[in-house]
Structure 1
């Protein structure tokens, strides 16, 4: 069931190009739905290659004057934007709740975490300082960081504010101009944010926004004036974006999906572990690439089975207390009907293959048009079950018992992703053993959502389905991505000093000797 708001309440989301709101050249739009009830809340532009070309050329024209500013001047404008985000946080969070389905607490955190990267970008005048050193007699080397030009940021639906701001602040303060392509599922938030950029004082053309689907993505990648592309989304599309950029010799970082494993040792603290596991897998309805997906319970055969059963019982109890809704403390819907059907499909297949459904979120599914699925916990007896190995991207936790530390490592290492992993233990030595052996890029010790914060950068393990392309997407990795390091080596010949200058220098030296002697005589 899909309902429609009155026309006056529906937001028409056009493109933002060169400081102006521009309808799509083809005149086509796509409905934007509230995932809690499937009502139409907006219509988003479906951009063509002509729209993309207009945006890229605006960014290209703005680049010379923007990059000519000092880093300090650009950071000053970004600091004004930071203040505007804080003062408009409640408004932005309300948009996130409406178009994404997060609860209000999660939506406010989405804004706050994105604004942390804005803060980091404001420190780039210090972080981007070049080096200089005398590397040989009369020879010095120095370096500086130059911006690339027009860069592209393609972002997903799950964090409408935070993920765009993994890239925009650092790209802009380092001197690039940007074309942003938000998810067509959640275009309202960034459509409002570009006006905040304008209010902060960013010149026309420095930041541009084009909406749409595949045509806008491919047109942005292929455009000859685009120098680099960042992408966050599913693994198949991340690989497509990376391969296409590689073929065009463009710099690219493309972050894909995940299958994050949590490993609980018998010596873990039961209460804190259970709480953390639930927050990790059910927070944001499980729609985040850092969410827990598999919980491996290690039973070492030394009478620890009761401890692990207690842990599992507490995880089930805490997850079953979660209520449906978008109010603080509750869990919102998943983004759309396609996602809901995919999640239900994994649960049904697990049942058919003999898994036990310890907590069934399908009880939340109703006829109100919303995309509701509750926290679900599946106890698997076959590690080849699809839910154990594929990205579900919903509030579903797969649980599997293992008989040794090595078996836990074997399962984690065999998954094709490499985003995150966590170990729960009260023993530092045990923790270090695991973090040296798990196959992921972002690791947690008693932390189920191990998102690194600036200056540490975010990104999965290269060579897995979690990451394609170059470098990371935030922190110092983003500074490296969005700039070219220019190295300058210099040597100057010995100067030919005129005789009268030599004479003056000798006279100055004698005067100094006399002055020192007179001063000493007064002591």
Structure 2
């Protein structure tokens, strides 16, 4: 059985004895074993990163940028290989994997501009003969802990910019599907990242807690569930680290009576059921204004669901692949059963889905609940599966109140033709990312990603301009060269420019 190893100091490292299997979600065939790093292994990766930092931080930003340009080219030329690894271990359809990778490449493109992004500010003559400027200096060793649902994109949110800013990095990808992240890191080495600057350790909680408590790690980026995000944030900050931790979501779409309902339903289908609902930006609740509109939306959704093509992710004719694991499939099915028990109407039941030739896969059809109410578990919790809940309200304000009361504040959207309603919604909703007739308002690479409330812990968002601030420290320098031969008297008042 193949063992997926760690990547430390530019080389694959002999695996740790503690291992766990990786499965193909379409068949539950065991693909390989992944080594789970011990504390000693993680500490070795950190030590390697720390030893590489002094020389790497001195590399001019333009040379770091050239490595990012080469990485972009290598990712594009190896896109099919990366996506095959993604689909084989995660299950998402190849087209979806390609979209994920492209979003990751866009973050590498942004990192290519790091010489411009690291330019400080200069002020001449802030006082007679005194100049002042600020500059952005790297932190040191940084770490990233990434989730199973975006094995390529989320690591590319983190380490390209961290390294481009002059830091060294230790990546801990999800142990469920680590191969794509490991392969991409090796492409980074091929692009010219020196050994030791980028390291990859596979592992579980032992590896995570080592990264969070080791004093040599200066900053930690995390994406995952809210309970773990909160643990990462509290533990990391208690140990003196800069931390950004992104947690769960329950994203609502508001559908107004004046919306283009055909297009709204089409986009809801992709946003709710794409990647089998395993996205932190998935739309999992449609809040429909008016019973008449809700009846139409539920009918149209039910019709579209009947046409969904579900099967092996390696077949691009399919719309939806399997869930990543049997355990997650069973968890989602338990949520569906609980929704029925609580009185929600299961308009479409996707349980019992059978895919010919893949009888042992983790397949679950699309599920649609109607007449969901606040307080129901299917509305409260992030299910992370192909389950869309429809709630019925009488007004836009009622819809906004429901969204604002929810514990999560990641993303939301509104479907309407009314500019006034759209503007009021986007101005006043208490959510971090808002779409107007856009179901998945994931910011582009040159903006920044982040939700509010229990969807994010920490001050700075992911990627974009915030990533430069997260992976650097501002230093301000004030300089004066006194004129030769002139003796100046001591000044005891606080310096000012008056």
TM-score (norm 1): 0.89
Is the Cα–Cα contact under 8 Å of residues 93 and 108 in structure 1 kept in the other structure? yes
1:349 maps to 338
Task: Measure, in 1, the Cα distance between the counterparts of 2:458 and 2:157.
Answer: 16
Task: Measure, in 2, the Cα distance between the counterparts of 1:345 and 1:285.
Answer: 16
Which of 211, 214, 220 is the aligned partner of 2:202? 211
Task: Measure, in 1, the Cα distance between the counterparts of 2:322 and 2:269.
Answer: 16
Q: Aligned to 1:358, what secondary structure does the other structure show?
A: strand
Where does the alignment leave 5 or more consecutive residues of structure 2 unmatched? 487-498
What is the CA distance between 1:496 and its match in structure 2? 6.3
Question: Pairwise mapping of residues 141-290 of structure 1 onto structure 2 (< 5 A)?
Answer: 141-290=132-281
Which of 60, 66, 78 is the aligned partner of 1:70? 60
2:454 maps to 465
Is the Cα–Cα contact under 8 Å of residues 48 and 215 in structure 1 kept in the other structure? yes
What is the CA distance between 1:381 and its match in structure 2? 4.5
2:112 maps to 122
Moved more, 379-388 or 361-370: 361-370
Task: Measure, in 1, the Cα distance between the counterparts of 2:14 and 2:459.
Answer: 34
Task: Measure, in 1, the Cα distance between the counterparts of 2:160 and 2:405.
Answer: 36
Q: Aligned to 1:361, what secondary structure does the other structure show?
A: coil
Task: Measure, in 2, the Cα distance between the counterparts of 1:308 and 1:347.
Answer: 21
Larger Rg: 1
Q: 1:380 to 1:97 in 2, by over 3 A?
A: same
* In the alignment, structure 1 residue 404 sits paired with structure 2 residue 395: yes
Moved more, 361-370 or 286-295: 361-370
Q: Aligned to 2:351, what secondary structure does the other structure show?
A: helix
Residues 106-156 of structure 1: CA deviation (Å, up to 9, x unaligned) = 011111110100000001111211110133333322111110000000000
Is the Cα–Cα contact under 8 Å of residues 14 and 22 in structure 1 kept in the other structure? yes
* In the alignment, structure 1 residue 321 sits paired with structure 2 residue 307: yes
2:82 maps to 92
Q: CA RMSD in A?
A: 1.4
Moved more, 428-437 or 87-96: 428-437
1:517 maps to none
Task: Measure, in 2, the Cα distance between the counterparts of 1:433 and 1:365.
Answer: 45
Q: Aligned to 2:409, what secondary structure does the other structure show?
A: coil
* In the alignment, structure 1 residue 487 sits paired with structure 2 residue 476: yes
Task: Measure, in 2, the Cα distance between the counterparts of 1:439 and 1:97.
Answer: 35
Is the Cα–Cα contact under 8 Å of residues 3 and 33 in structure 2 kept in the other structure? yes
Q: Aligned to 1:364, what secondary structure does the other structure show?
A: coil
1:111 maps to 101
Where does the alignment leave 5 or more consecutive residues of structure 1 unmatched? 1-6, 300-304, 498-523
Task: Measure, in 2, the Cα distance between the counterparts of 1:454 and 1:14.
Answer: 30
Is the Cα–Cα contact under 8 Å of residues 263 and 295 in structure 1 kept in the other structure? yes
Task: Measure, in 2, the Cα distance between the counterparts of 1:236 and 1:107.
Answer: 27
Task: Measure, in 2, the Cα distance between the counterparts of 1:381 and 1:133.
Answer: 58
Which of 71, 81, 92 is the aligned partner of 1:81? 71
Q: Aligned to 2:327, what secondary structure does the other structure show?
A: helix
Q: Aligned to 2:279, what secondary structure does the other structure show?
A: coil
What is the CA distance between 1:311 and its match in structure 2? 2.7
2:353 maps to 364
Task: Measure, in 2, the Cα distance between the counterparts of 1:284 and 1:257.
Answer: 16
Q: 1:443 to 1:90 in 2, by over 3 A?
A: same
Task: Measure, in 1, the Cα distance between the counterparts of 2:455 and 2:288.
Answer: 24
Is the Cα–Cα contact under 8 Å of residues 242 and 468 in structure 1 kept in the other structure? yes
* In the alignment, structure 1 residue 478 sits paired with structure 2 residue 471: no
